[in-house]
Amino acid sequence: MRSILAVLLLGLASAAPAQQYFQWDEDKLREELARIADATRKVNVPMRDGIHLSTDVYLPKDTSGGVPTIFWRTPYNYNSLSGVRLIQAVVAVSRGYAFVIQNERGRYFSEGEFTILGNPRTDGYDAISWIAEQDWSNGRVGTIGCSSSAEWQLALAAMDHPAHTAMVPMASGAGIGRVGDFHEQGNWYRGGAQRTLFYPWLYFVDNPLRAQIPTGLDRETRERISGYNDLATDKPKVDWKKHINFLPIQDLLLELGEPPGTFEEFIARKPGDKGWYEGGLYHDDEGWGVPAFWFNSWYDVSIGPNMALYNHVRENGNDSEVRNNQFAVIAPVEHCNVMGMKEKTIVGARDMGDTRFDLIGEIYAFFDRFVASDGNAMGGETPRVRYYTMGGNRWSAADNWPPEAAEETRLYLSSDGNANSLYGDGRLSFEPPASSGSDSFVYDPMNPVQTIGGGDCCNGGTVIPGAFDQRPIQARADVLVYTSEPLEAPLEVSGFVDAVLSVSSDARDTDFTVKLVDVLPDGTAYIVDDTILRARYRDGYDREVFMEDGKIYEIDFTPMTTSIEFQEGHRIRVEVSSSSFPKYVRNLNTGGNNVDESEGVAATNTIHHAPGHLSYLVLPVVPGEQAE
């Protein structure tokens, strides 16, 4: 009979779904961990300012000499090790690594006050120094984690700790401030419009009134306390689908009885506020000192910034070893669901086919090379970028992102003046329109266009991410719909998709949204990606320039990012509107601060498509197949 560890590793290698891991008997997994590891729990690791962070250490039994370390740092509760963290501990220790897991400052048994991203520039550095100094350590540390357990690693990489020899950041976009064309400040914005996902997240995580135990207790006492009290909160449930409508948005959490905290500080900031550059976010004016294996997802909240940062590091790493050892995998799944790749992968409502990938094998080949110093691990044939091309449903490989073969191709919007809704006459063509035209719609912020699917996460259930049919939205008159003729051959689009619109409005400020859609022969219209721009930031995020009634402006959006093969007989569709709520905060169209306002006004917005005022997408078209 196979051991539980053998079954575990087999399941991981075949990329079984994440929910299957959680259905396994965790008691047996814990038994396996106890069999192979010596555990020391609730260690108080000192930081430079005297604060201590609670840390658990799992060491391989019967090991002589120093061992390499896998380090997982989190704001979440791991008092009873479970789920992915339990699996990571078992896999790491079974492969001869120490597994160290730590709570961020101000969370659970760690001392201090919580700061979003957990003070990575000091706490992360000091934690790695402590690990490297232990008798059981070989002085080399690899970091791993998804979402909040990955985001803090980015600023740490800029500090280039000598013991930080490798990192595996998964879905790490909320740790990115500004990189290239993306000025999202940790996913707080897109195109200058606030995203709402952090509002429910902060309600649960940013808790100034948290329970704490007295400082100065010895480790054994702290571990004993943890056996009957994990210091977790049980906050009142909130119907976020309803509460996200509350105005003014700045009082969203105060209305729930919460004390002022991070939300109120952040909601008052504008995209170029200096505060974004003083915390734990990584920005593209910094160096980078660590080889990295990036795992990202097409239907995540921040695939664009993630791939832009990957490119930045490959070009601007501190030395050639760092620049040449950046690897990326992009899967057709949702946020932190790279372990959900399987033989039949459904994302939203779309069948993505067989997405299986040897996730654990690839990660530990990388760690073996850069943390365990195994020169034979991870051979030079490993592609720099592996990405799943949706529609064609295949893994592809490239040396760069976008693939070097990608050719910029324009797709122009036009109509006979009535692109309103799915039933209008909006067209997409590879040739620019020969005559002047425009389409107008009325955007009422008190009746916004609903978000259905796309890239999102962590939002209290207000939006379900993934590929969903957009036809319910496209039936609205305040949504402009532009559709190509059926394709005569497959068309692969892989890279950054730029949108440029010529627009006007009778409002001083409003938003414009763009959505890329794959239309199947039966009419099903799956969202591929979307973007938004708040018009006042069209000239830069460090200034506000308001619109003049009737004046036409060319606006260039934050790029969309994808790999999609539009199949023969499919049509390419572009939606244009002025809202996608609750994914993005509604622009109330007043030209005011927006977050402190409770009433909106309707705006008449116009998209122009004329020889002098074109509206178009720039598609990175890849000829032929780039399959592995």
Confidence at residue 65, expressed as pLDDT on a 0 to 100 scale: 84
Is the pLDDT at 3 greater than 80, yes or no? no
pLDDT > 80? residue 618: yes
Structural domain tally of the chain? 2
Closest CA to 330 of 384, 382, 387: 387
Q: Taking all residues of the chain, what is their mean pLDDT, rounded to a whole number?
A: 92
More confident residue, 279 or 3: 279
Mean pLDDT of 478-504: 98
User: What whole-number distance in Å separates Cα of residue 168 and Cα of residue 327?
Assistant: 10
Of residues 454, 480, 438, the one with CA closest to residue 610: 438
Alpha carbons within 13 A on the beta-carbon side of 337? 27
CB 546 within 8 A of CB 514: no
pLDDT over threshold 50, residue 380? yes
pLDDT class of 341 with cuts at 50, 70, 90: confident
For residue 499, being part of any structural domain is answered with yes
Asked whether residue 364 falls in the same domain as residue 444, the answer is: no
Query: Does pLDDT of 350 surpass 60?
Result: yes
Mean pLDDT confidence for 552-566: 98
> For the residues 314-324, what does the mean pLDDT come to?
96
What CATH number does residue 379 fall under?
3.40.50.1820
Q: What is the pLDDT of residue 28?
A: 83
Same domain, yes or no, for 417 and 362? no
**Same domain as 411, residue 313:** no
Task: Give the DSSP H or E segment for 494.
Answer: strand 491-505
> How many Å from the N-terminal Cα to the C-terminal Cα in the chain?
35
CA distance 339 to 345: 11
Percent of the chain with pLDDT strictly greater than 70: 96
pTM score, two decimals?
0.93
43 within some domain: yes
Distance CA 242, CA 560 (A): 29
Q: How many of the other CB atoms lie within 10 Å of CB of 44?
A: 18
Please tell me the predicted confidence (pLDDT) of residue 331.
95
pLDDT digits (tens, 9 = 90+) for 271-311: 999 999 998 999 999 999 999 999 999 999 999 999 999 99
- Point out which residues pair with 555 in neighbouring strands: 501
Q: Domain with 527 in it: what CATH number?
A: 2.60.120.260
3-state secondary structure of 210: coil
Q: For the chain, what's the residue count?
A: 628
Kindly state whether residue 310 falls inside one of the protein's structural domains.
yes
| Model confidence at 12: pLDDT above 70 | no
| 263 found inside a domain | no
Predicted pLDDT of residue 29: 85
Give per-residue burial for 574-611: e unless 16+ CB within 10 Å, then b. Answer: bbbbbbbbbbbbbbbbbbeebbebeebbbbebbbbbbe
Instruction: For residue 24, name the pLDDT band (cuts at 50, 70, 90).
Output: low
Task: Compute the distance between CA of residue 208 and CA of residue 528 in angstroms, rounded to an integer.
Answer: 39
Clarify whether residues 505 and 569 are in a common domain: yes
Residue 519 binned pLDDT confidence (cut-offs 50, 70, 90): very high
Strand partners, 606: 440, 504
Instruction: Find residue 408's DSSP bridge partners.
Output: 620
Q: Find the domain containing 84 and state its range.
A: 4-198+210-225+281-341+353-389
Is residue 545 one of the residues assigned to a domain? Answer: yes
Query: Do residues 379 and 509 share a domain?
Result: no
Same domain, 130 and 42: yes
Distances (CA, A) of 304 to 16, 208, 321, 331: 27, 33, 25, 13
Using 50, 70 and 90 to split pLDDT, how confident is the model at 63?
confident
493 plus 615 within the same structural domain = yes
Helix and strand element counts for the chain (H, E): 14, 28
Residue 265 burial (CB count, 10 A): 12
Query: What are 489's two structure tokens?
Result: 């051959």
Do 483 and 328 form a contact (C-beta atoms < 8 A)?
no
Residue 251 forms part of a structural domain: no
Which one is predicted more confidently, 349 or 17? 349
